[in-house]
Structure 1
Amino acid sequence: MVHSPETAAAARVWFITGASRGLGRAFTEAALAAGDRVVGTARDVGPLEDLAAGSDGRLVAFPLDVADREAVMAGVRRAFDTFGRLDIVVNNAGQLLYGMLEEVTEDQARAHMDTNFFGALWVSQAVVPILREQGSGHIIQVGTVGAGGGFSCVGMYSAGKAALDAISEALAMEVESFGIKVTKLQPTSYDTELFTTGTTATDENPAYTGLRARLAELWSGANGPDPDPAQAAPVLMELVDLPDPPRRLAVGGYSYDLSLESDRERTAEAERWEALSRKGG
C-alpha cells in the first residue's frame, strides 16, 4: 500500500524511537517514501536534519531519552498533537552492554535496562490510551532473535530483550480487543552502530581472557558482513499492511534459521528429560 503525500488524511502517522541511525533511520526513510508522516525521536536527532528538511513537513524530529518516563509521556503527547493521531509505534531505541555478567556494575545494569526495557515499557504505556481511543494502531517492539536465551558477553542485552518479549506478549493480549496489534520484530545482526557508538563495555576481568578470545574467533566474519539496515525496511512495510499480522516475526534469513534451530533444540531437550519432568507430578 503506497500513500500519496498529497493525501495527508490517508497517510499513516509513525512514532519511531531511535530514529537517527541504523534500523530506526531505515524505517523512517521507508515510511516517508510510502507517503506517510513520521515523528522521529532519539537522544541526538542531528542526523535527521537532512531528512526532515526534504520531507515537506512530513518528518518531525525532536530529542527524547526513553529512559525518562516523564519525558516519554510528554513526547508521545507532542507527537499526537503534531499530526492528530498515531498509527504505527516502533520501539527501536536501544543500546548494547558488552561484558561478562560478573563484570557488570550496578549502574551499567540499571542504565542498560532503563533504555532497552523500561524505555519500551514507558512508550507502550504512553501510546495505548491514544490507540485505544482511536480503536486502531500497531505497536512494533524491536527485539532480537537472541531474546530466547542468553549468550556470553551479551547476557544483559538478551535479558532486556527477553523481558521486552514477555511484556509484549502480555500487552498483545491486553489490547487486542481495542483493535491494537502488537508485533515483536526479531531482526538479524544488521550493519548499524549498535556495536560502536551504541555499545558500553565492562572493565575486563582477566579470568575471562580465554573465553573472550574464543568468542572473537567465533564472531569474526562467521556469517559474512552484516546486511544493510535498509534491507529490513521492506519487511516492516509489508508487515504493517497486513490485516492480521504475526505477534513475532524474525527478520533476515540468519535470524529465521537461528530462531528455528533454537526452538528445535529446546524441544529436543524437553523430550530428552521428559521422564524426569513428569516425576514432579
Structure 2
Amino acid sequence: MSKTILITGASRGFGKLWAEAFLKRGDKVAATARNLEALDDLVATYGDAILPIQLDVNDRGQSFAAVQKAKAHFGTLDVVINNAGFGLFGSIEETSEAEARAQIETNVFGLLWVTQAVLPIFREQGHGHIIQLSSILGITTLPLLGVYNASKFAVEGLSETLHQEVKQFGINVTMIEPNGFATDWAGASATHTQHLPVYDGVRAAFNEATSQEGTFGDPNATSAAVLKLVDSENPPLRLFLGKHALPFAKQAYEERLDTWQKWDEVAVAAHGA
C-alpha cells in the first residue's frame, strides 16, 4: 500500500535520495527545499506524485503552512522525515554567535516546528510516523563539531520525550543515527568557522582520521533501510545507519558506565539521608 511522505531538505543528499526511492516504488512525496529548481528532475520523472514545496524550516509559519499544503494536496500524511540540517565545522572557541545560532536554529528549531505542525494531523488520523535525522554524533562526539554535536544531542532528547508523549495516539517516532556518509554534508552544505592556529593539531588529527578508506558509507545504500523502516509495523525508536555507528556507540557507553560506576559512592552520598 503506497504511503504519503513529507521530507524536508529534499534538494540534495539523503533527502533527495530517499525522496526518489519513495517515488520509484509508487509513494507520494511532498518534498521541501529552499531551492525548488533542485527538484525539477524528480518532477519531470514522477509528475503529480511529487509536490515540491519551498520551505525554510527556520520559519515556523512557513513550516506549518508547508505541512498544511501537503495534507491538503494529498489528503493525508503518513510519514514526516525531518531531514533538513547542516554541519558546522570548527572548535567551540572559534564558533561565532551567529554560527552557533544558525546551527541550532536549523537543526533543532526547524525540526521542532515541522514536528509541531504535523502532530495535530497525526493525532486526528490516529496514526503517523515522525522520523528525525539525528546522528551517531547525537549520542557521542567528535572534536571540531561541538555545536553540531549539541544540536543532535538536543534532537535525541526532544525525540525520545516526544515518543513517550505521542505513542498513546498511535504515532511512532524514530531517530535515524547515521555514521559518516559520502554526501555533501561535509562539503558544499557545511559551514566552517574561522580557524585559530592553536587548534591546528586537533584539525590535523581529525582530517587524518576521517580520510581513512572506508570511513564514509555509500549514501545510495541507505535507501533500502529507510524503506524498510517506513514499512515497519513496529518501527524502532533509534536506527543506526552504517557499519561504524554501533562500535562507536558501544565504546562511548562503556566508558560512561565505567566512570559512573567508579564515582557511584560519591553520587549516592550526594543524595543525602
- CA apart distance, 1:224: 1.9
Aligned residue number for residue 182 of structure 2: 191
Instruction: Give distance in 1, aligned partners of 2:193 and 2:229.
Output: 37
- Work out whether residues 52 and 59 of structure 1, in 8 Å CA contact, stay in contact via their aligned partners in 2: yes
For residues 104-133 of structure 1, the C-alpha deviation after alignment (integer angstroms, 9 at most, x for no partner) is: 111111111111000000000000001111
Aligned mate of 1:76, from 67, 89, 92: 67
Q: Match of 1:183, SS?
A: strand
1:270 is the counterpart of 2:260: yes
- Work out whether residues 71 and 77 of structure 2, in 8 Å CA contact, stay in contact via their aligned partners in 1: yes
Letter in 1 for 2:155: L
Farther off after superposition, 120-129 or 22-31: 22-31
Q: How does 1:231-250 map to 2 (within 5 A)?
A: 231-250=221-240
Aligned residue number for residue 16 of structure 1: 7
Q: How does 1:1-281 map to 2 (within 5 A)?
A: 10-221=1-212, 223-224=213-214, 226-281=216-271
Instruction: Give distance in 1, aligned partners of 2:38 and 2:47.
Output: 17
Instruction: Give distance in 2, aligned partners of 1:124 and 1:261.
Output: 32
Stretches of structure 1 that go unaligned for 5 or more consecutive residues are: 1-9
Q: Match of 2:244, SS?
A: helix
If each structure's helix is expressed as a fraction of its own residues, which one has the higher value? 2
Instruction: Give distance in 1, aligned partners of 2:188 and 2:48.
Output: 29
Farther off after superposition, 241-250 or 119-128: 241-250
- Work out whether residues 31 and 53 of structure 2, in 8 Å CA contact, stay in contact via their aligned partners in 1: yes
**What is the alpha-carbon root mean square deviation over aligned residues?**
1.3
Letter in 2 for 1:84: G
Instruction: Give distance in 2, aligned partners of 1:82 and 1:13.
Output: 11
For residues 120-165 of structure 1, the C-alpha deviation after alignment (integer angstroms, 9 at most, x for no partner) is: 0000000000111111000000110111233211001110011011
Instruction: Give distance in 1, aligned partners of 2:129 and 2:222.
Output: 18
Q: Match of 2:186, SS?
A: coil
Instruction: Give distance in 1, aligned partners of 2:218 and 2:42.
Output: 18
Instruction: Give distance in 1, aligned partners of 2:153 and 2:215.
Output: 26
- CA apart distance, 1:178: 0.8
Letter in 1 for 2:163: A
- Work out whether residues 250 and 259 of structure 1, in 8 Å CA contact, stay in contact via their aligned partners in 2: no
- CA apart distance, 1:87: 0.4
- CA apart distance, 1:166: 0.5
For residues 184-231 of structure 1, the C-alpha deviation after alignment (integer angstroms, 9 at most, x for no partner) is: 11012111111111111111112212222222222222x525222121
Instruction: Give distance in 1, aligned partners of 2:4 and 2:228.
Output: 16
Stretches of structure 2 that go unaligned for 5 or more consecutive residues are: none
